[in-house]
Amino acid sequence: MYDDIACPWCRLGTHQFHRAVAAAGAEPDVELVHRPYQLVPDAPEEPRPLMDTVVEMFGPEQAAAMLAEMTRIGADEGIEYRFDRAIAVNTLTAHRLRWFALHEHGARAQAALATALFDAYFRDGVNVADHTRLTELAERVGLDSGRVRDFLASDEGTAEVREQVAAARREGVATVPRFVFGNGELIVGVTSTEALGDALRKA
């Protein structure tokens, strides 16, 4: 799955994917690997309220309508969006941590961390570029906090994540979420638990 931590539809798609796996009874046989994508690669490193950036992009009325609709859709699916708390910030550091989780602990640890990052961003108002908060999230899903602190303090994974984002763009990824199944089937953009379940069964 290509996704960005700052993408509310990616949060929804991830939730729907895990529900589809559970409904199919396929949990021992399915791995979800998150690949990095950045909707705004040059987003500032300084955190600011997400509401401010959305209003700047769409104007106050359209921003309010969009976020209200996303909140309603999330609630229908069992996801709590708190856009009034959300903090916009560059997601590169969070993507680096997901890369670390995959390479050191495997896809299941990465998937658990991805969900924790989404909830931190969209529900809990966490700055997902802050090393202390990221270390706490990683520890909560079973990663070693000391190793995570050392990793975040280094440049490890930075070049690899940047290259994966660039490679995704070269391959034509322009919309996320983007699911790529083992049989080559693609599901791009807004989807449903049912559509993901059908694709899983085919794969």
Q: In 75-90, which positions are buried (b, 16+ CB within 10 angstroms) versus exposed (e)?
A: eeeebebebeebbbbb
Low-confidence ranges of the chain (pLDDT < 70): none
- pLDDT of the residue at 197: 95
187 close to 180: Cβ distance less than 8 angstroms: no
- pLDDT of the residue at 28: 85
Q: In 143-178, which positions are buried (b, 16+ CB within 10 angstroms) versus exposed (e)?
A: beeeebbebbeeeebeeebbebbeebeeeebeebbb
- pLDDT of the residue at 86: 97
